[in-house]
């Protein structure tokens, strides 16, 4: 086996470049694992204390050694061989790592088998380096829980601006709920990570951490073995530094799975790398749902801060310069998300919320599907724990309230009070209303009438309409802002999100890749230099 010198500077190296370095004998999987673990020790456990990695895989070194041995054996190499990645800690792995969703109630929980996503990544040769911290239960436990906080894992900090307030809450949020996945990749603690989204949980941390992500069409990637919120909207997706890397991971994760009926509707898998085209914006029609002549219906862009608006106008200029056609038109009013028939009142009992003891509005679909889907996961996937139902989690939290209930569990209480069979009329009507508003009278109408290839949203502004429709989005770094709620902060990223019709990932990746190559807006976070001599 060749001497792996010079070492690769892992802190900001793409998967594609790591693959080349491995093939050229400039490094080994063992060297990469060692380098990422050193960065976790220096920046996640010490230094700024990013706290993005909840658990390191104790078998990572042995997996890397086996990967290196296989590399010099005869036969075809799998596409991700030797690439260390992190999984969000709601993705089941049948190994020595726990699968906890960040909950003290599941601190001792393991999984009976790998989630389909984990199994496919392993088959593709990836090394699971560890589990990433997250907003507890993917931010469905309590109203007003800070993004990136879990009772088991603690608080994730933004790699670009890690400062926290007097209560330990980040001044610049890391984005949620896949906060740890995003921060870890931004900080160079792994080559890439896998997160999950129900509504915004990939797009939000990707935007806050200056990453590329793909929130796929529901059913493109199996959800089997992922601790759920709502099966009608849940999905996993890659979090990477480049669009090419996102396509590489997407290729490894897609495909039908008998354990997830939603995958049966997906088209035949394609190679998303073939859709990447530097000239992919020429002639593309992109909708900007912000019409200055109709300000009352400008629901997706009007909340932008002045600095955010400057960034997004630069995005639009870059798209036009690359040959795209911009269509400024609001999405029809009936495409608005939320409101009567789709959300429900929940009493906010969060002790640290300024709106404590006031009514919050939560999506009906989330609350009703949560009990049904969580109970199924605990029955079919969890092992090593006495927790067998949502009710068990609620009771555990009450018993250990001093540690488990810093922010309460008001959403879990509401979910526990449903029947859990998804037959209540309120749930059925809400799901129908969501689909009508997001699909037929929302994105479908908007894209058809304007003959669009994609819709451009700032950051996470369009997350809900795409998530309720089950439609895909691809986000790319777009620039930097330096303000939170009117308070000046260190610069941190803002992403541009391209959303499309069902199964349009290839089109969105083509557009995103061309935008990325034309702009190169991404910059790694400051203050996290390479640990090897000669690295930045």
The two tokens of residue 532 are: 């090897």
Tell me, yes or no, if 177 is annotated catalytic. Answer: yes
The two tokens of residue 79 are: 């596409």
From the list 67, 177, 232, 275, the catalytic residue is 177
From the list 201, 209, 275, 504, the catalytic residue is 201
Rg of the chain taking only CA atoms, in angstroms: 22
Q: Helix count (H) and strand count (E) of the chain?
A: 16, 17
Q: At what angle do helices 29-39 and 15-23 cross, to 10 degrees?
A: 140
Residue 170 has what DSSP assignment?
A: B
Give dist(CA 16, CA 247) in Å, integer.
Answer: 11
Q: At what angle do helices 15-23 and 243-253 cross, to 10 degrees?
A: 80
Residue 20: count of CB within 10 angstroms of its CB: 14
Instruction: Phi first, then psi: give them for residue 238, nearest 5 degrees.
Output: -80, 150
238 alpha-carbon distance from chain centroid: 7
Tell me, yes or no, if 201 is annotated catalytic. Answer: yes
Strand runs (DSSP E) across 156-270, as ranges?
192-197, 212-215, 235-240
- For the chain, the first-to-last Cα distance in angstroms comes to 28
The two tokens of residue 183 are: 């921060």
From the list 67, 88, 207, 275, the catalytic residue is 88
**Complete DSSP assignment for 210-225:** T-EEEEPPTTSB--TT
Return the SS3 of 161: coil
Give dist(CA 414, CA 310) in Å, integer.
Answer: 41
Instruction: Phi first, then psi: give them for residue 327, nearest 5 degrees.
Output: -115, 110
Tell me, yes or no, if 67 is annotated catalytic. Answer: no
Strands 473-484, 212-215: parallel, antiparallel or unpaired by DSSP? antiparallel
Cis before 177? omega within 30: yes
Spatial CB neighbours of 98, under 8 Å, sequence gap ≥ 6? 55, 89, 106, 107, 108, 109, 110, 131
**Complete DSSP assignment for 488-504:** EEEEEEEEEEEE-STT-
Q: At what angle do helices 116-123 and 243-253 cross, to 10 degrees?
A: 110
Give dist(CA 17, CA 81) in Å, integer.
Answer: 13
Residues labelled catalytic: 88, 177, 201
């Amino acid at each position: 086996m060749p001497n792996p010198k010079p070492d690769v500077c892992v802190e900001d190296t793409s998967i594609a470049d790591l693959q080349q370095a491995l093939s050229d004998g400039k490094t080994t999987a063992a060297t990469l694992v060692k380098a990422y673990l050193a960065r976790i020790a220096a920046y996640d456990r010490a230094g700024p204390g990013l706290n993005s990695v909840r658990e390191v895989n104790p078998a990572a070194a042995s997996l890397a050694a086996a990967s290196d041995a296989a590399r010099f054996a005869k036969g075809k190499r799998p596409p991700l061989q030797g690439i260390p990645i992190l999984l969000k800690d709601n993705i089941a792995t049948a190994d020595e790592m726990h699968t906890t969703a960040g909950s003290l109630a599941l601190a001792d929980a393991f999984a009976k088998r790998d989630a389909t996503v984990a199994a496919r990544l392993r088959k593709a040769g990836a090394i699971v380096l560890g589990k990433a911290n997250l907003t507890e239960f993917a931010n469905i436990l309590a109203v007003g829980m800070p993004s990136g906080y879990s009772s088991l894992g603690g608080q994730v900090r933004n790699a670009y601006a890690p400062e926290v307030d007097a209560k330990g809450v980040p001044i610049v949020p890391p984005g949620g709920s896949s906060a740890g996945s995003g921060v870890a990749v931004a900080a160079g603690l792994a080559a890439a990570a896998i997160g999950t989204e129900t509504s915004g949980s990939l797009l939000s941390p990707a935007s806050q951490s200056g990453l590329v992500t793909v929130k796929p069409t529901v059913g493109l990637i199996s959800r089997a073995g992922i601790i759920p919120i709502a099966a009608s909207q849940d999905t996993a997706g890659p979090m990477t530094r480049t669009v090419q890397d996102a396509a590489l991971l997407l290729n490894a994760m897609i495909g039908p799975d008998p354990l997830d009926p939603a995958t049966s509707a997906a088209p035949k898998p394609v190679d998303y790398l073939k859709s990447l085209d530097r000239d992919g914006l020429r002639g593309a029609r992109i909708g900007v749902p912000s019409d200055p002549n109709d300000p009352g219906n400008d629901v997706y862009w009007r909340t932008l801060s002045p600095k955010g608006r400057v960034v997004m106008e630069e995005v639009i200029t870059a798209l036009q310069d690359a040959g795209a056609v911009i269509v400024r038109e609001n999405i029809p009013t009936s495409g608005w998300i939320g409101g009567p028939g789709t959300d429900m009142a929940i009493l906010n009992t969060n002790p640290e919320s300024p709106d404590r003891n006031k009514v919050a509005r939560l999506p009906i679909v989330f609350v009703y599907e949560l009990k049904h889907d969580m109970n199924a996961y605990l029955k079919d996937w969890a092992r090593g724990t006495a927790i067998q139902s949502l009710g068990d989690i609620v009771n555990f939290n009450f018993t250990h309230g001093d540690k488990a209930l810093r922010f309460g569990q008001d959403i879990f209480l509401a979910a526990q009070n449903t029947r859990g069979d998804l037959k209540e009329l309120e749930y059925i009507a809400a799901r129908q209303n969501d689909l009508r508003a997001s699909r037929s009278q929302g994105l479908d109408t908007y894209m058809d009438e304007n003959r669009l290839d994609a819709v451009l949203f700032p950051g996470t502004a369009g997350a809900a309409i795409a998530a309720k429709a089950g439609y895909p989005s691809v986000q790319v770094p777009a620039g930097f802002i330096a303000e939170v709620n009117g308070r000046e902060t260190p610069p941190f990223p803002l992403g541009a999100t391209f959303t499309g019709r069902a199964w349009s990932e290839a089109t969105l990746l083509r557009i995103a890749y061309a935008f990325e190559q034309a702009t190169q807006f991404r910059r790694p976070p400051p203050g996290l230099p390479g640990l090897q001599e000669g690295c930045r």
